């Protein structure tokens, strides 16, 4: 396997273990955190004859339905998926869930493992497969929190005015003409707007009127031509990332979609990549990317905005684990080995009480245990301060 797939010994062993787990069960949902991970694992597992399919949001609806039906009917042993299968979709009975690396959040672990054993009297069963000590530590914290029923608190934004404006315009388009007070009553029924003050509501109405997006007069809100245009262009509050359809020229079927940035950078005629867990070669590129099946070396596409944020509480617990390992107060073999190696080599171990700063060439690494949101805030503050001091843009990731 090492020679065939060009893998190191650890990666080959991991792949064999994944296939063993799949073969030990009848129907496994194999969750990963990103679409590119789903694609590369599917392609590699197929090379060792694993009976699997792929399911994620960048595949076509037809491809997703086909994968779901194969899983329901027992024609495949496992479905490699992202959050696209966390909720609601009926994919039949899964008897086991495998999670690749830390699920990042307790709620995601509970939701994902909960997709197995979906029958009265049956228990949900799952396993987390961590590829390194960092993933292991985070997965350990999340699993322990799940067992203690300590899930993340749901924070619902109060009175999001951009959403309010979007809904006012949508209502105006639907009704044509409607009393402002009627809209206010409708909006207040939604939980995020339950405490919306009339003054704030009318300030948004007046702004939309001044912009010409709606017409308001004598307490009536009316649709304008600009309202309909706005509604069509902005029906979703989720920002669009331009994408290209991927079409199989042998069947003329849509396989999935690729982000514009990936297509413009790489997808010239003859370029090879994987999607749907299979290798394809670009035949032509127009308004869509037309491909034909390939058996040669491939590249994994990347998609924008995939990473699942790590909560503050989880990050702090991981930091605490590392600190206790340094102090010799926990006996976990994997975490202990990682920490001992760092200390032996003369490095400080970042923890919930220690931030470390490292340099490698012209790159500076700041190691914290604050979670995604705090780290993003820190990166913006530090980036702004450095840009002001140095007089040039600073790349922070």
Q: Can you give the pLDDT at residue 297?
A: 67
Residue 101 confidence class, pLDDT cut points 50, 70, 90: very high
Q: Can you give the pLDDT at residue 321?
A: 93
Cα 137 to Cα 10, 67, 257, distances in angstroms: 19, 33, 34
Token pair, residue 295, equals 């058996």
Q: How far apart are CA 120 and CA 380, in angstroms?
A: 49
Mention every residue, 6+ apart, whose C-beta is less than 8 A from residue 250. Answer: 292, 293
The predicted-structure confidence for 211-220, as pLDDT tens digits, reads as follows: 999 999 999 9
Residue 287 has pLDDT above 80, yes or no: yes
Q: Can you give the pLDDT at residue 305?
A: 63
Residue 52 near residue 40, CB atoms below 8 Å: no
Q: Can you give the pLDDT at residue 374?
A: 94
Q: How far apart are CA 379 and CA 56, in angstroms?
A: 30
Please state the rounded mean pLDDT for residues 75-89. Answer: 86
Q: Can you give the pLDDT at residue 283?
A: 93
Q: Can you give the pLDDT at residue 70?
A: 93
Strand partners of residue 246: 256, 289
Determine what percent of the chain is predicted with pLDDT higher than 70. 94
**CATH topology for the 161-233 domain:** Arc Repressor Mutant, subunit A (1.10.10)
Cα 311 versus chain centre, distance:
14
Token pair, residue 47, equals 């090379």
Residue 96 near residue 28, CB atoms below 8 Å: yes
Residue 204 near residue 161, CB atoms below 8 Å: yes
Residue indicated by tokens 């339905």: 65
Task: Tell me the three state secondary structure of residue 77.
Answer: coil
Residue 89 has pLDDT above 90, yes or no: no
Residue 289 has pLDDT above 80, yes or no: yes
Lowest mean pLDDT among 13-22, 109-118, 276-285: 109-118
Closest among 368, 364, 365, 396 to 383, alpha carbons compared: 396
Residue 265 confidence class, pLDDT cut points 50, 70, 90: confident
Residue 261: CA atoms inside 13 Å, Cβ hemisphere, count?
Answer: 7
The predicted-structure confidence for 146-188, as pLDDT tens digits, reads as follows: 999 999 988 899 999 999 999 999 999 999 999 999 999 999 9
Q: In the chain, which residues fall in CATH 3.40.50.300?
A: 2-147
Residue indicated by tokens 């315009």: 169
Q: How far apart are CA 260 and CA 140, in angstroms?
A: 37
Residue 321 near residue 136, CB atoms below 8 Å: no
Residue 5 has pLDDT above 80, yes or no: no
Please state the rounded mean pLDDT for residues 177-200. Answer: 95
Q: In the chain, which residues fall in CATH 1.10.10.10?
A: 161-233
Closest among 115, 107, 133, 131 to 40, alpha carbons compared: 131
Phi, psi of 381 (to 5 degrees): -65, -50
Closest among 192, 114, 193, 119 to 151, alpha carbons compared: 114
Phi, psi of 282 (to 5 degrees): -70, 120
More confident residue, 86 or 107: 107
The predicted-structure confidence for 110-125, as pLDDT tens digits, reads as follows: 999 988 876 777 788 9
Residue 99 confidence class, pLDDT cut points 50, 70, 90: very high
The predicted-structure confidence for 18-52, as pLDDT tens digits, reads as follows: 999 999 999 999 999 999 999 999 988 988 888 99
Residue 306 confidence class, pLDDT cut points 50, 70, 90: low
Q: How far apart are CA 287 and CA 266, in angstroms?
A: 15
Residue 6 confidence class, pLDDT cut points 50, 70, 90: low
Residue 85 near residue 111, CB atoms below 8 Å: no
Residue 2 has pLDDT above 60, yes or no: no
Determine what percent of the chain is predicted with pLDDT higher than 90. 57
Residue 1 confidence class, pLDDT cut points 50, 70, 90: low
Residue 344 confidence class, pLDDT cut points 50, 70, 90: confident
Q: How far apart are CA 171 and CA 160, in angstroms?
A: 17
Q: How far apart are CA 113 and CA 31, in angstroms?
A: 9
The greatest distance separating any two alpha carbons of the chain, rounded to the nearest whole angstrom, comes to 77
More confident residue, 355 or 343: 355
CATH number of 2-147: 3.40.50.300
DSSP strand E in the chain: where?
28-31, 52-55, 78-81, 96-100, 126-129, 177-179, 214-217, 220-223, 243-248, 253-259, 272-275, 278-285, 289-293, 356-360, 363-367
Q: How far apart are CA 364 and CA 390, in angstroms?
A: 15
Q: Can you give the pLDDT at residue 240?
A: 66
Average confidence score pLDDT of the chain:
89
Count of beta carbons in the 10 Å neighbourhood of residue 169? 23
More confident residue, 239 or 37: 37
């Amino acid at each position: 396997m090492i020679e065939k797939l060009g893998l190191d010994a650890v990666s080959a062993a991991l792949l064999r273990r994944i296939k063993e787990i799949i073969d030990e069960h009848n129907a496994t949902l194999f969750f990963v955190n990103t679409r590119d991970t789903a694609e590369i694992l599917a392609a590699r597992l197929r090379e060792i004859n694993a009976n699997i399919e792929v399911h994620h949001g960048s595949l076509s609806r037809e491809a997703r339905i086909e994968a779901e039906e194969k899983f329901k009917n027992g024609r495949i042993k496992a479905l490699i998926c992202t959050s696209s299968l966390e909720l609601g979709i009926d994919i039949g009975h899964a008897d086991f869930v495998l999670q690749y690396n830390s699920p990042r959040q307790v709620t995601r672990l509970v939701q994902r493992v909960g997709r197995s054993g979906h029958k009265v009297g049956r228990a949900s069963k799952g396993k987390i497969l961590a590829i390194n000590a960092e993933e292991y530590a985070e997965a350990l914290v999340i699993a322990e929190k799940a067992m203690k029923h300590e899930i993340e608190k749901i924070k619902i934004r109060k009175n999001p005015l951009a959403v309010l404006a979007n809904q006012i315009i949508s209502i105006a388009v639907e009704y044509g003409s409607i009393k402002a007070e009627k809209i206010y009553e409708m909006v207040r029924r939604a939980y995020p707007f339950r405490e919306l003050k009339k003054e704030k509501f009318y300030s948004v109405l007046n702004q939309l009127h001044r912009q010409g997006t709606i017409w308001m007069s004598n307490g009536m809100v009316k649709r304008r031509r600009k309202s309909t245009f706005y509604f069509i262009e902005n029906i979703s509050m989720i920002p669009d990332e331009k994408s290209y359809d991927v079409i199989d020229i042998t069947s003329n079927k849509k396989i999935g979609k690729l982000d514009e940035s990936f297509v413009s950078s790489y997808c010239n005629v003859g370029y090879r990549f994987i999607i749907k867990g299979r290798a394809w070669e670009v035949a032509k590129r127009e308004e869509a990317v037309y491909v034909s099946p390939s058996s040669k070396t491939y590249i994994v596409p990347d998609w924008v905005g995939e990473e699942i944020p790590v909560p503050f509480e989880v990050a702090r617990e991981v930091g605490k684990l590392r600190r206790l390992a340094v102090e010799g107060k926990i006996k976990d073999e994997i975490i202990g080995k990682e920490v001992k190696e760092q200390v032996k080599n003369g490095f400080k171990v970042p923890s919930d009480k220690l931030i470390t700063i490292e340099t490698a060439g012209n790159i500076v690494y700041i190691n914290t245990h604050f979670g995604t949101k705090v780290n993003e805030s820190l990166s913006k503050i530090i980036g702004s301060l450095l840009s002001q001091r140095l007089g040039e843009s600073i790349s922070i990731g």
